[in-house]
Chain A
């Protein structure tokens, strides 16, 4: 995989790879510089000149720009939305890179070198050399409480993070526990408080000491930040109300997994519902290995498998 990275992008002999994958070289250079700075200062939000993308702001322009500036002909690209490979946005972005770069796409976490995501980190542990690219709607974790950018920048500069705890305090006083679930703030490398995109807090511990590189791009807000491999990432909490992840009483209806992040799916009007793994690739993998949940063989399984087949044909 390291080999892929060293010969990525425009290392080819001719001009064939010049302006590879949608962005022009100057833009890519600018974005790569921002990425390098972000990696050098973990958790710090680096401003960059976000470009117009062929999708609206809010649909993942930050992530697409990071991916476009990193991807090379030998990369394998995976894109997930809410953990699933087969949702509209994920399919479109995957097709986009297949079209503009001719790169290989995959749905398998293990095969991908670059994984773009908004809401999830895949269940299958990431390995060294993989890059996670997050689409971030609001990079500033303090924004809801402090509207002034000058003020939030000063707060980051001087490590004034008391305000971040106000949000958690509010949660406890309202719900009796820290009820915030997505975009749960983390402290990166004991220095910067960072919003980990709106991933569920279930995924926060996966950032800690992860062997993969995590890059966060906010296209509308024009910020890039990063968690380099093997970096300390700590979710905030109070001494008497520490950070904890969500748990489910149910198992995945399709593959029987107990330890994954689950979506609740309403099946009919008679209050029947099932819980399924939000990570569709992980769930399919488990089913292939012979794991079966209480709803195994349900018609939804077939839909998911059909879509997967179609995807592979198109890719």
Chain B
């Protein structure tokens, strides 16, 4: 693992320039509010956690800020390589898809949504490289092996189909697939949901290593406060589509101010 060097990321950005800026993002499904008036900034190398109960608008917000779901109002600006800080929804569809493909990653809660179940684990991990225009099998194969090794997958199984892997392994393949092309910002929707605690712990450990090592910015949505504590630098607490509290992770979890956050923190089962 020591061979993994820090990835070179020429960002062409001032160090204090945000990589993502959301302003008054609101999404309504008819009369139902998904999320309302959410604003925040995210800086390179930072991990932002979004916590809240089911139905609090976490996933809606994630879909909006990753450019997958058009918000009803408000804007989402991302520091693209080509245009600088630009509203994702002002880009043409072609440009938006290119940015999503080349500069962003999205880890789905259910690995089946983020993987191609009919092609091998190796091809799943290599696909983002092919999308970037890599046409050299040998070099892609090497990168694939490096990344599957990083996520601690048995390399003998590189050509197995994802359906033949366990849920935790599938999730690790998905993570490798979303990091192999060196994105600058990765969205994670409940990356450890549905995994048993030991697998979850290994995965979190791994994620923490990868994030710290490659200086990438991450937005992780979770309802699990332990996950948030381990991964996130900053937390945003959501309830009924609104952000009710933000702050440093330890600050929010150790000294919650809002009544709902206090409830959330106290509701965690202690062993």
A residues bordering B, Cβ < 8 Å? 144-145, 154, 157-158, 160, 162-163, 165-167, 169-170, 172-174, 238-241
Q: Is the CB of B116 within 8 A of A166?
A: yes
Give which listed residue, A145, A158, A172, A240, contacts B94 with CB less than 8 A. A158
B-side contacts of A240, CB under 8 Å = 136-138
Q: Is the CB of B126 within 8 A of A166?
A: yes
25 A-B Cβ contacts within 8 A? A145-B118, A157-B94, A158-B97, A160-B101, A160-B131, A162-B130, A162-B132, A162-B133, A163-B127, A165-B130, A166-B119, A166-B127, A167-B119, A169-B126, A170-B119, A172-B137, A173-B120, A173-B122, A173-B123, A173-B141, A173-B158, A174-B159, A239-B137, A240-B137, A240-B138
Give which listed residue, A158, A167, A173, A239, contacts B136 with CB less than 8 A. A239
A-side contacts of B140, CB under 8 Å = 169
In the docked arrangement, what's the CA distance between A157 and B93, Å? 10
Q: Is the CB of A238 within 8 A of B94?
A: no
Q: Is the CB of B120 within 8 A of A170?
A: yes
In the docked arrangement, what's the CA distance between A241 and B139, Å? 12
Interface check B83, CB cutoff 8 A: no
Query: Smallest distance from the beta carbon of A64 to chain B beta carbons, Å?
Result: 32
Residue of A nearest to B129 (CB): A162
Query: Smallest distance from the beta carbon of A241 to chain B beta carbons, Å?
Result: 5
Interface check B82, CB cutoff 8 A: no
Query: Smallest distance from the beta carbon of B158 to chain A beta carbons, Å?
Result: 8
In the docked arrangement, what's the CA distance between A163 and B122, Å? 14
Query: Smallest distance from the beta carbon of A175 to chain B beta carbons, Å?
Result: 11
A-side contacts of B126, CB under 8 Å = 166, 169
Q: Is the CB of B123 within 8 A of A238?
A: no
Residue from A160, A173, A240 whose CB has the most chain B CB atoms within 10 Å = A173
In the docked arrangement, what's the CA distance between A238 and B133, Å? 11
Chain B contact surface mostly: helix
Q: Is the CB of B123 within 8 A of A170?
A: yes
Q: Is the CB of A163 within 8 A of B135?
A: no
Q: Is the CB of B118 within 8 A of A163?
A: no
Query: Smallest distance from the beta carbon of B180 to chain A beta carbons, Å?
Result: 13
B-side contacts of A162, CB under 8 Å = 127-133
Query: Smallest distance from the beta carbon of A170 to chain B beta carbons, Å?
Result: 5
Q: Is the CB of A173 within 8 A of B159?
A: yes
Query: Smallest distance from the beta carbon of B243 to chain A beta carbons, Å?
Result: 33
Residue of B nearest to A165 (CB): B130
Q: A145-B118, A169-B137, A174-B159 are in contact. Are A163 and B97 (CB under 8 A)?
A: no
Residue from B94, B98, B120, B123 whose CB has the most chain A CB atoms within 10 Å = B123
In the docked arrangement, what's the CA distance between A239 and B134, Å? 9
Q: Is the CB of A154 within 8 A of B97?
A: yes
A-side contacts of B158, CB under 8 Å = 173
Residue of A nearest to B126 (CB): A169
17 additional contacts (CB under 8 A) given A173-B123, A238-B136, A240-B136: A144-B118, A145-B116, A158-B98, A160-B97, A160-B131, A162-B130, A162-B133, A166-B116, A166-B119, A166-B123, A166-B130, A170-B120, A170-B123, A172-B137, A173-B141, A238-B137, A239-B136
B-side contacts of A165, CB under 8 Å = 130, 135
Q: Mark B157-174 against chain A: 1 for CB-CB distance below 8 A, else 0.
A: 011000000000000000
User: 7 closest pairs, A vs B, by CB?
Assistant: A162-B131, A162-B130, A238-B137, A165-B130, A158-B94, A239-B136, A169-B123
A-side contacts of B130, CB under 8 Å = 162-163, 165-166, 169
| B residues 39-54 touching A (CB-CB < 8 Å) | none
B-side contacts of A158, CB under 8 Å = 93-94, 97-98
In the docked arrangement, what's the CA distance between A158 and B129, Å? 17
In the docked arrangement, what's the CA distance between A169 and B125, Å? 11
Q: A165-B130, A166-B123, A166-B130 are in contact. Are A154 and B137 (CB under 8 A)?
A: no
Query: Smallest distance from the beta carbon of A96 to chain B beta carbons, Å?
Result: 38
In the docked arrangement, what's the CA distance between A15 and B140, Å? 63
Query: Smallest distance from the beta carbon of B123 to chain A beta carbons, Å?
Result: 5
Residue of B nearest to A163 (CB): B127
A-side contacts of B129, CB under 8 Å = 162
A-side contacts of B123, CB under 8 Å = 166, 169-170, 173
B-side contacts of A172, CB under 8 Å = 137
Residue of B nearest to A147 (CB): B118
B-side contacts of A154, CB under 8 Å = 93, 97
Residue from B126, B129, B158 whose CB has the most chain A CB atoms within 10 Å = B126
Give which listed residue, A145, A160, A167, A239, contacts B135 with CB less than 8 A. A239
B-side contacts of A241, CB under 8 Å = 137
A-side contacts of B97, CB under 8 Å = 154, 158, 160
B-side contacts of A145, CB under 8 Å = 116, 118-119
| B residues 95-118 touching A (CB-CB < 8 Å) | 97-98, 101, 116, 118
In the docked arrangement, what's the CA distance between A155 and B79, Å? 24
Residue of A nearest to B124 (CB): A166
| B residues 19-68 touching A (CB-CB < 8 Å) | none
In the docked arrangement, what's the CA distance between A165 and B136, Å? 10
| B residues 144-186 touching A (CB-CB < 8 Å) | 158-159
In the docked arrangement, what's the CA distance between A238 and B129, Å? 13
Residue of B nearest to A237 (CB): B135
B-side contacts of A160, CB under 8 Å = 97, 101, 131
In the docked arrangement, what's the CA distance between A306 and B97, Å? 60
A-side contacts of B141, CB under 8 Å = 173
